[in-house]
Structure 1
């Protein structure tokens, strides 16, 4: 079931508009769908990042910490077919 759509006016640099038009032509998708998908991905990633940062700050306040390499490995797996779960806190 698709969600109702609401029209938004977005001003884009000419270079980006040209890239969107090119992608639309090459993929057979509408410019509207391409922009909607891009905004959806961006907003979801930003909200996820902010939520995870809030949790990390809370964990730090509670004395929990994570190994930097574990965190970087986890972050680099995002949006892949093999996305990893959040690392476990380090033992102190």
Structure 2
């Protein structure tokens, strides 16, 4: 079910408008749909990032953290057949 639409007037640089138009022509989609999809993706990614940062800040305040070097070392071991064990929480 579609949500009601509300008109939003925005200013974009001419080169971006040309890119939107080109994409619309190439894909057969309307400029409005392309811009709505782009805004939806951007806003949802930003909201998710902010939520993740809030959760990480709460974890740190509660003493739940990991040593960054240990985590990077663990991540770099992925995919090579010799994956290291997941690091445990940092000691205070």
- What TM bracket, shorter-length normalisation? 0.7 to 0.9
- Aligned equivalents of 2:19 and 2:53: distance in 1? 32
The whole-number CA distance in structure 2 between the counterparts of 1:9 and 1:35 is 12
Q: Name the residue aligned to 1:11.
A: 11
RMSD, aligned CA? 2.0
Cα distance in 2 for partners of 1:48, 1:18 equals 30
Gaps of 5+ in 1: 74-87
Q: Distance in 2 between matches of 1:90 and 1:59?
A: 14
SS at match of 2:34: helix
Residue matched to 2:23: 23
Distance of 1:52 and 1:36 partners within structure 2: 24
The alpha carbon displacement at 1:90 in A equals 3.1
- 5+ residue gaps in structure 2? 76-85
2:21 counterpart SS class: helix
**How big is the shift at 1:65?**
1.1
CA distance in 1, matches of 2:87, 2:53: 15
Q: How far is 1:11 from its partner? A: 0.3
How many residues are treated as equivalent by the alignment?
76
Q: How does 1:1-92 map to 2 (within 5 A)?
A: 1-66=1-66, 68=68, 69=71, 90-91=88-89, 92=91
- What is residue 78 of structure 1 aligned with on the other side? none
Q: Which runs of 4+ in 1 moved over 3 A?
A: 66-70
